[in-house]
Amino acid sequence: MAKSSTVSRAEKLVQSAMKGNDASHDAAHVFRVRDLALSLAREEGLSSSPDSMEIVELTALLHDIGDYKYVRDLSEEKIVEEFLEAEGLDESKKIKILSIIKGMGFKEEVEGNVDIKHSVEFGVVQDADRLDAIGAIGIARCFTFGGSRNRVLHDPSIQPRSDLSKEQYMDKDEQTTVNHFHEKLLKLKDLMKTKAGQKRAEKRHKFMENFLKEFYEEWDGKS
């Protein structure tokens, strides 16, 4: 299927807006999420609806512009809305895209604030983003982000935080890189919204468990 001009311009916006980010949240991450989201959408039966597929693709492409971890100017958060307005998207599509982006982050769900009536479009985009946070790619991204923030790799005396509030989760300075697996990444498998996402998450989750087992054995000099 031919790529729409809006999608092409969204890709260029992503490359421009995210060029200063480290490799854990760069344009390559966004393009992987887009490809995963479209694949999940097809598995979930959305391919018969061009409108739904457009919503999925544009939401996946635009979801990390204005990310609180990287935003330096609050006006950056308006980039997506201004882009959609300039593209002349139907109001209903624009509202749906902005609503999904606003609600799909883990920080919105860490305290149990999740809309059980979410749309399939929401589910496939969120699942795709979370799939890219786990497995082999997820491990690479986790250590890339930790390194970019000069975070401690691992400290056995610092235990993972339980019952996190949204504010605690957003305070990245309190985490070690390895604790992030326990505070977030290992929880994502059970938070997948679609059957297609759940199926793919199983393999990636197991890969992380095996990695951590080996990591701790090597840390303790046992392997």
CATH number at residue 134: 1.10.3210.50
CA pair distance 112, 74, nearest whole angstrom:
26
Judged against a pLDDT cut of 60, whether residue 1 lies above it is answered with no
Task: Give the chain's domain count.
Answer: 1
* Secondary structure class of 54 (helix, strand, coil): helix
Mean pLDDT, rounded, for 165-192:
82
Give the domain range for residue 33. 5-219
Higher pLDDT, 178 or 167: 178
Among candidate residues 22, 13, 15, the one with its CA nearest the CA of residue 70: 22
**Helix (H), strand (E) counts: the chain:** 10, 0
Angle value at C-alpha 10, between 77 and 134, nearest 5 degrees: 75
pLDDT at 78: 87
For residue 67, the model assigns a pLDDT of 80
Give the ranges where 87-159 is alpha helix by DSSP (H): 91-103, 120-131, 135-148
Higher pLDDT, 69 or 79: 79
In this predicted model, what pLDDT tens digit does every residue of 117-134 receive, in sequence order? Answer: 689 999 999 999 999 999
pLDDT tens-place string over residues 143-159: 999 999 999 999 999 99
Compute CA distances 19 → 24, 66, 97, 102, 201, whole Å. Answer: 12, 13, 23, 22, 28
Segment 24-45, tens digit of pLDDT: 999 999 999 999 999 999 999 9
